[in-house]
Amino acid sequence: MFFILKTVLSGLLIALVSTIARRYPTLGALVASLPLISVFGMIWLWQETHDPVKMEAHVSATFFYVIPSLPMFLLIPWMMRQNIPFWTALLIGCAVTVVLYLATMWLGRRAGYAL
């Protein structure tokens, strides 16, 4: 039952963002940029585990994974301004993000973080 609640609330958040963005792109972007998914994830993790060690690891790793995801939000619009189709720009943006995630994991391990 808890899984269904998490699924419904998370889906509603995505639907809300896309609905707002259709009429007000900037406001939709603001709502999408809020760390609501991260906050929901923390709430769900805490409800399921009450484990401060897991929560600390989750929140710390989230911080480090947000950083390599940011360039995608500049790369996709730039590519679209270069007349690259949306789906191609999205695919390339996601691929670059995966490479940056892998680099972050590698650098994190070298710096002593378990990412």
Measured CA to CA in angstroms, residue 7 lies from 17, 43, 44 at distances of: 16, 13, 11
Mean pLDDT of 71-97: 98
pLDDT of residue 51: 97
Sequence ranges of the domains in the chain: 1-50, 51-115
Q: 13 pLDDT band (50/70/90 cuts)?
A: confident
pTM of the model: 0.77
Q: 80 pLDDT band (50/70/90 cuts)?
A: very high
pLDDT of residue 81: 98
Mean pLDDT of 24-50: 90
Rounded Cα–Cα distance for residues 87 and 85 (Å): 6
